[in-house]
């Protein structure tokens, strides 16, 4: 029997939350795997239609969850992503290439950034999949470390591509601190080489 409810608690990082039925019954567990994969991610206060079943411990849970709100609503993840992120990464690459051409940073360092960015991109993708499947997660410390070591362009693209780790203020604060630290390190290397060559 289909029921209606509201998503009153949602942890997007771990991929689960709780639905409170509109008829006043007790709330029940809902996993992201029961939501439509071809549509947007769940949001807090979403109105949903669902069926119920019981897990192996006899606890009530939601299944076959669908949204009452149309997929093109203001919260829809299908809306175009802001080009600002891509422009920022492109600007950094242009700056890096310019510094390399001027001999202010080692050309090989570009390979380090490229490799670290690819690693970061796949780490975010793996962590997002693990969150949806309820599997072992990649630690935030590991994600920040690869960003600090030069993988932040790939990490930034991955956050937008996978829509992962973008709404957690504490994570974003540390992430942008690693970006600033890495850029300062790059400027220090550039300055040191400039002085040495002069």
Q: How far is it, in rounded angstroms, from Cα 57 to Cα 54?
A: 8
Residue in the block written with tokens 């670290």: 116
SS3 105: coil
Question: CA distances (Å), 83 to each of 86, 88, 93, 135, 148, in order?
Answer: 5, 9, 15, 32, 23
For 155, residues 6+ apart whose C-beta sits below 8 A from its C-beta are: 117, 120, 121, 123, 124, 143, 146, 147, 175
Residue 121's H or E segment, with its range, is helix 108-133
Length, in residues, of the chain: 198
Mean pLDDT of the chain: 85
What is the pLDDT confidence band of residue 21, given thresholds at 50, 70 and 90?
A: very high
Amino acid 173: pLDDT: 93
**What SS3 state is found at 51?**
strand
**What is each CA distance from 40 to 9, 17, 32, 158, in whole angstroms?**
17, 16, 11, 17
- pLDDT tens digits, one per residue of 130-150: 877 767 889 999 999 999 999
Lowest mean pLDDT among 65-74, 125-134, 176-185: 65-74
31-65 pLDDT per residue, tens: 988 988 776 778 888 899 999 998 888 888 999 99
Sorting pLDDT into bands at 50, 70 and 90, what band is 129?
confident
Is 179 in contact with 147 (CB distance < 8 Å)?
A: yes
Instruction: Over range 157-186, report the average pLDDT.
Output: 90
Residue 64: enclosing H or E segment and its boundaries?
strand 60-67
Per-residue pLDDT, averaged over 112-139, amounts to 89
What is the number of alpha carbons within 13 Å of residue 196 lying toward its C-beta? Answer: 9
pLDDT tens column, 64-89? 999 886 544 444 444 445 677 888 88
Task: Report the alpha-carbon angle 109-113-117, nearest 5.
Answer: 165
| CB within 8 Å of 154: residues ≥ 6 apart | 116, 117, 118, 119, 120, 121
Q: How many CB atoms lie within 10 A of CB 14?
A: 14
Q: Which domains does the chain have, with CATH numbers?
A: 3-67 (2.40.50.140), 84-197 (no CATH)
């Amino acid at each position: 029997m289909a029921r209606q409810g509201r998503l009153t608690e949602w942890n997007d990082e771990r991929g689960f939350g709780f639905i409170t039925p509109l008829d006043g019954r007790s709330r029940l567990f809902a996993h992201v795997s029961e939501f439509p994969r071809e549509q947007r991610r769940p949001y807090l206060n979403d109105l949903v239609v669902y069926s119920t079943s019981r897990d192996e411990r006899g606890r009530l849970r939601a299944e076959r969850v669908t949204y009452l709100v149309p997929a093109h609503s203001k919260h829809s993840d299908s809306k175009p992503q802001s080009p600002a992120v891509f422009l920022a990464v492109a600007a950094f690459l242009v700056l890096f290439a310019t510094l390399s051409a001027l001999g202010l940073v080692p050309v090989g360092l570009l390979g380090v950034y490229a490799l670290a960015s690819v690693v970061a991109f796949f780490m975010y993708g793996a962590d997002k999949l693990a969150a949806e499947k309820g599997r072992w997660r990649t630690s935030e410390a590991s994600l920040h470390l690869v960003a600090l070591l030069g993988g932040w362009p790939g990490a930034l693209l991955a956050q937008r591509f996978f829509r992962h780790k973008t709404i957690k203020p504490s994570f974003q604060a540390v992430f942008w601190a690693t970006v600033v630290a890495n850029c300062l390190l790059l400027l220090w290397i550039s300055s040191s080489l400039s002085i040495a060559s002069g």
